Structure 1
Amino acid sequence: MQRFFYSLLALVLLLPFQVFAQRSQAFQIHSHNDYLQTVPFWTAYAAGASSIEVDLILKDGQLMAAHEAESIDPKRTIGSLYLDPIAEGVKTGLVSTAQFHLLVDLKTEAYSTLEVLLKSMEDYRDVLFGAANPHGLKLIISGNRPKPSDYGNYPEYIFFDYQSKELGKELPWSKIGMVSLSFRQFSVWNGKGRMVEDERKSLQDFIDLVHSFDRPVRFWGSPDSKSAWKAFHEMGEDYINTDRPMEAADYLSQLPENVYQNNSVHEVYPARFAGDGADVPVKNVILMIGDGNGLAQISSALFTNGNQLNLTQLKNMGLVKTQAADDFTTDSAAGATAYASGEKTNNRAIGVDPEGNALENLPDLLDGFGFSSGIVTTDQLTGATPASFYAHHPERDDAEQIAAYLPKSKLDLFIGGGGDRFGAQLGDLQQAGFELVDGFGSWEAGRVGYFVAPGSLPKVLDGRGDYLLEATSSALGFLEKKGVPFFLMVEAANIDSGGHENSTGMIVTEMLDFDRVIGRVLRFADEHPGTLVIVTADHETGGVSIPQGDIESNTVELAFHSDDHTGILVPIFAYGAHSGDFRGVYENTAVFHKIMELVRKYYRD
């Protein structure tokens, strides 16, 4: 029954390990005082720990797993907690090779305790390291140890933990399994913020010294936090000391995904600010929506682009509340409907109120004031954000029904993916006056539609290139030539995807792509006084924070609280005519009403 329990427990614990093992493990964990875990050995093994510590006390001829005599439990021996589970794991195939060692910290006299330990190991010969079993289990003896001159008297599976700053070629290196010292010999750092540079250098020098003898190094009594794990990993500590092996392994294994270095810094357009905030007629309105783009996403792009962005030049800014009518946390459908119609609606609803009644959107309303309108997106055109500016449907996933609204819309221009969704509407679009083009250029038609891809567009990391910049530039040129005021919505959809996938690289590259387009739009606004540019988001995605980064190397680390949308306020920036009207903290619906107030101020219906 006990064997069955261990096997079942191991299977449960090893489920996360199977995922962990598929990642690139460029770090090693030391499970400190592992015998105090609820499930000793298997917790460390499931975390992929390379070094597993057990304190041993020789008591009445038995090797008890305990730190002091007062805490001895007769059931907790090195055999019951470690050697038996390992042997059973090897027998059942749960432990294929011993890619770990036991760090045995002797709390009683070294020679007598080792004598009993060696006798105990006779029952486990099949799993022990040796010439005939190069992948077998090694024991590294720590705590009370024999004299270094006696190290060679012990079996080949026994190694020793050397604990001194004095290192030399004369030491018995072939029997030294690692070098360990107290972290407090080097630093008083508590694992928060950053280590003092002099202390960090002292620690780094010792790590390098140990490595010069081709041996691993570990520090006990070290801070046990994410900041500490990352710092020790970057310094090259071979066995990172932790009492939380699962958490440490999960964090360190995700570092390659959570840290991103930008190697393509773009130049920032120097905005003129000549007409910024001017109380003049608004001739054009350009609404730019970074889907899922919160303050952390913007910050990550800033810190990886030489500490500058087109967006962060802007002086008029505010914060937007994003809640939906039926939920604290909005989705893109309700969020974009609020911007497009000025009304709160339920999540999943596009262009309708909570009762399902159609809401007038900005392109429809602005048509009555002589405006032309267009939408550009990196999403499919039936996606929630672009669809909210032409469709009226209670369910965002009903792509075919949503597509049927496009020929009926007041839009003069659309550019985006998802062309396969519109097969039944191609004739209706052409009858509505849309010329369906197959490339960017100087379009002369009255209405233009461009299905850039049959399905979804690739991400920047997958080779999308300058699509959004070219699409926005072509849209601006097309609408400008009409000689009438215009409204243009530009969506960068895949910042949201990066948040959902908890991908730092996707968030940074999509936001930087968006910022390049923002620079192009700011230049247009400077060249066309009376243009109002609004840059915001429908919601934040991922609950993103920035625990660390390095501005000099354009590197940032992101952490994620969620893989979904959050209810946090999102920034809004404005530039050009009446941009000062967008300062403050307000509901997402207010963006629509601010735009319409300006239109009604200067234009007659």
Structure 2
Amino acid sequence: MKNLKKGLLVCLFLFPVLLFAQQDFKLHSHNDYLRNVPFWEAFGAGAASIEVDVILQNGNLMVAHEAETIKPELTLRSLYLEPIQKAVDLGMINAFGFHLLIDSKTEAYSTLEAIVKEVADFEGILFSPQNPKGLKLIVSGNRPKAEDYSKYPEWVFFDYQSKTLTADLPWKKIGIVSLSFRQFSVWNGKGRIVESEKLQLEEFVAAVHSFQKPVRFWAAPDSKSAWKAFYDMGVDFINTDQPAMAQSYLSTLSRNIFSTDSRHEVYQPTFATDGKVAPVKNIILMIGDGNGLAQISAGLFVNGGKLNLAQLKNLGLIKTQAADDFTTDSAAGATAFATGKKTNNRALSVDTSGKPLSNLPEILAEYNFNSGIITTDQLTGATPASFYAHHSERDDLDQIASYLPNSKLDLFIGGGRNSFADKIDAIQASGFEMLGNLDDLALSKADRIGYFSSIGSNPSMEKGRGDFLIKSAMGASAFFKSKNQPFFLMIESAMIDSGGHANSTSTIVTEVLDFDRTVGEMVQFADKNPGTLLIITADHETGGVSIPQGNREKGEVELAFHSDDHTGILVPIFAYGPHSDDFMGIYENNEVFEKVLGLVKKYHSK
């Protein structure tokens, strides 16, 4: 009774998990009776096949693998039949999405006779032509002869275990075909299975399927790599001792895999001034929010092994820690780039005591630079706001927005017009011409330009943002070039971070590819405008992303997530143009500012 109560509590806790959408995989809970809460754990994990070993002893069906482990209270009835009946009575089972695979460890005929007698007490829940959604039993282990299968009730089926598949087998009474995985392969589930062994498995699966029957392999490796391999082979019941973990992995697998037939061409840089000791006139800082090495790698593999980023030669790694936390947020990360000082998380261009810190647009104005910011985020977002506002709390949007009219920016492009609704007059009074169309940007003769791309948040690439980032970057660089003055431009791709928080592979990859297309345009601009230093980096990594598997020929990647938040992983930094080699090495994020300002002071005067 104690075990039953514990089981009910576990199952009630897991009950929401049972409401699975239609899924194209099924799990076999191997040796289920060995779990802390037999049946309920497998049921809660959505297992479609639940295995129980039985030993006939003194007329009782004991649940155990061998006689030495028998415990009098552990019977087929107490561990499985009664809990299943209870689940039906509670309304937790309306239609059976699983069967019991009973592995008979004692003499076939006498054990099966006892099983039939015991299970007959639960006739109301059993499969029949009148109850097609009822419970099926599949007898494995010691079984009667095949010619005797038809003598047993309609709810009894059998586990066929042979490579010999012929049309004269009693297929109507065969519920599943099972073989030891070791008959085909010695693979341990790590790395990749040998191709010839994989082919044998696939051929056997196809042969079983030709008789419209499902297949299972026992003694099989039990790992994520193995589960995916069996899934890809079309194995109907994936054998596992970890049904909850396998369910979690396989149910999100389609969401974690991404590929696309759409690939962009990459630009081949000239490298004419790359790494040369030459004057730096323009500085373009591109920030991929949340864009770590795994995210970049995913974009690379999906795009056929090529990225614009991958053409660049000078790169390093950045430590991202905030002043008050090992793991930075975007506010502290962007403040380090904008001011050269580490600050507390949530703070925008103020020090740890809340005192304003001069940011790059403010400092560079003294050297006759024009400055601009572009973001796919709202303009009050932490990264863009760090380049014009000074405030200790990133969520105080009204206070943050109030800094824009008096900022040293000459250009801003991004979403979030609603946050500036009562400040538009002040923004225009400060000399900003508000564009109604992004296409007008490149040819504008205005002194200062502003453009709100949305009243709230911009859409993601998946939801139709299109070429907004590329058009903004190209238009802004052309706008600044026409002024014949040095300029600083910050370009943020914000939604790589969103994909990391959501653990969305498709969001990450589509945003990385959009960012990379924009990188390509800025590399071309640098080649056409010598003296342009391009810096590409990230404020932090998001999602703890890794790439366990992929397919280079298909341009496919599988991402795994170890977090839904920022991490403290080093992030890459790339540089192109004069003095790009100054950005090589491993260093703190605030040192990017120091390197930039050092070059400004070297070649410009107030």
- Residue of structure 2 in register with 1:513 after alignment: 514
- Residue of structure 1 in register with 2:130 after alignment: 132
Deviations 1:556-601 (A, max 9, x none): 0000000000001000000001100000000000000000000000
- Residue of structure 2 in register with 1:227 after alignment: 225
CA contact (8 A) 2:11 2:43 kept: no
- Residue of structure 1 in register with 2:550 after alignment: 549
- Residue of structure 1 in register with 2:18 after alignment: 17
Tell me which amino acid in the other structure corresponds to 1:545: S
- Residue of structure 2 in register with 1:207 after alignment: 205
1:319 equivalent among 317, 320, 325: 317
2:167 equivalent among 166, 169, 181: 169
SS of equivalent to 2:297: helix
- Residue of structure 2 in register with 1:249 after alignment: 247
Aligned counterparts, 1:488-527, within 5 A: 488-527=489-528
SS of equivalent to 1:406: coil
How far is the alpha carbon of 1:464 from its aligned partner?
0.5
- Residue of structure 1 in register with 2:148 after alignment: 150
SS of equivalent to 1:97: coil
- Residue of structure 1 in register with 2:396 after alignment: 398
CA contact (8 A) 1:32 1:53 kept: yes
Tell me which amino acid in the other structure corresponds to 1:149: E
SS of equivalent to 2:559: strand
Tell me which amino acid in the other structure corresponds to 2:299: A
CA contact (8 A) 2:10 2:41 kept: no
SS of equivalent to 1:462: coil
- Residue of structure 1 in register with 2:289 after alignment: 291
Matched, 1:39 2:40: no
Deviations 1:368-417 (A, max 9, x none): 00100000000000000000000000000000000000011110000000
Q: Kindly tell me the number of residue pairs found equivalent between the two proteins.
A: 602
CA contact (8 A) 1:284 1:530 kept: yes
TM normalised by structure 1 equals 0.99
- Residue of structure 2 in register with 1:428 after alignment: 426
Query: Residues of 1 paired with 2:567 and 2:8: CA distance?
Result: 40
How far is the alpha carbon of 1:91 from its aligned partner?
1.1
SS of equivalent to 1:52: strand
Deviations 1:18-66 (A, max 9, x none): 3xx13x4110000000001111111111111110000000011110110
- Residue of structure 1 in register with 2:487 after alignment: 486
CA contact (8 A) 1:438 1:452 kept: no
Aligned counterparts, 1:361-400, within 5 A: 361-400=359-398
Query: Residues of 1 paired with 2:559 and 2:132: CA distance?
Result: 40
Change (3 A) 1:398 1:590: same
Query: Residues of 1 paired with 2:36 and 2:15: CA distance?
Result: 15
How far is the alpha carbon of 1:5 from its aligned partner?
5.2
Query: Residues of 2 paired with 1:198 and 1:69: CA distance?
Result: 40
CA contact (8 A) 1:338 1:345 kept: yes
How far is the alpha carbon of 1:4 from its aligned partner?
5.6
Tell me which amino acid in the other structure corresponds to 2:592: V
- Residue of structure 1 in register with 2:185 after alignment: 187
SS of equivalent to 1:268: coil
Query: Residues of 2 paired with 1:528 and 1:332: CA distance?
Result: 31
1:59 equivalent among 54, 57, 60: 57
- Residue of structure 2 in register with 1:94 after alignment: 92
- Residue of structure 2 in register with 1:450 after alignment: 451
Matched, 1:239 2:240: no
Tell me which amino acid in the other structure corresponds to 1:549: G
Structure 1: gaps spanning 5 or more residues: none
Query: Residues of 2 paired with 1:409 and 1:586: CA distance?
Result: 30
How far is the alpha carbon of 1:262 from its aligned partner?
1.7
Tell me which amino acid in the other structure corresponds to 2:502: E
How far is the alpha carbon of 1:427 from its aligned partner?
1.0
How far is the alpha carbon of 1:9 from its aligned partner?
3.4
Deviations 1:413-465 (A, max 9, x none): 00000001001211111111000111122211000000110000000000110
CA contact (8 A) 1:416 1:452 kept: yes
How far is the alpha carbon of 1:96 from its aligned partner?
1.5
Deviations 1:63-87 (A, max 9, x none): 0110000111111111111100111
- Residue of structure 2 in register with 1:602 after alignment: 603
Change (3 A) 1:588 1:176: same
Q: CA RMSD in A?
A: 0.9
SS of equivalent to 1:502: coil
Query: Residues of 1 paired with 2:405 and 2:348: CA distance?
Result: 16
How far is the alpha carbon of 1:10 from its aligned partner?
2.1
Query: Residues of 2 paired with 1:420 and 1:13: CA distance?
Result: 42
How far is the alpha carbon of 1:122 from its aligned partner?
1.8
Query: Residues of 2 paired with 1:9 and 1:601: CA distance?
Result: 67
Query: Residues of 1 paired with 2:603 and 2:6: CA distance?
Result: 78
Query: Residues of 1 paired with 2:276 and 2:487: CA distance?
Result: 19
Share of identical aligned residues, percent? 62
Tell me which amino acid in the other structure corresponds to 2:246: A
- Residue of structure 1 in register with 2:266 after alignment: 268
Query: Residues of 1 paired with 2:387 and 2:9: CA distance?
Result: 55
Tell me which amino acid in the other structure corresponds to 2:407: S
- Residue of structure 2 in register with 1:360 after alignment: 358
Query: Residues of 2 paired with 1:286 and 1:186: CA distance?
Result: 57
Query: Residues of 2 paired with 1:568 and 1:99: CA distance?
Result: 43
- Residue of structure 2 in register with 1:278 after alignment: 276
Query: Residues of 2 paired with 1:81 and 1:506: CA distance?
Result: 45
Structure 2: gaps spanning 5 or more residues: none
Query: Residues of 2 paired with 1:125 and 1:4: CA distance?
Result: 24
Tell me which amino acid in the other structure corresponds to 1:86: I
CA contact (8 A) 2:8 2:40 kept: no
Query: Residues of 1 paired with 2:568 and 2:33: CA distance?
Result: 42
Deviations 1:528-549 (A, max 9, x none): 0010000000000000000000
1:346 equivalent among 340, 344, 347: 344
CA contact (8 A) 1:331 1:539 kept: yes
- Residue of structure 2 in register with 1:141 after alignment: 139
How far is the alpha carbon of 1:551 from its aligned partner?
1.1
CA contact (8 A) 1:318 1:584 kept: yes
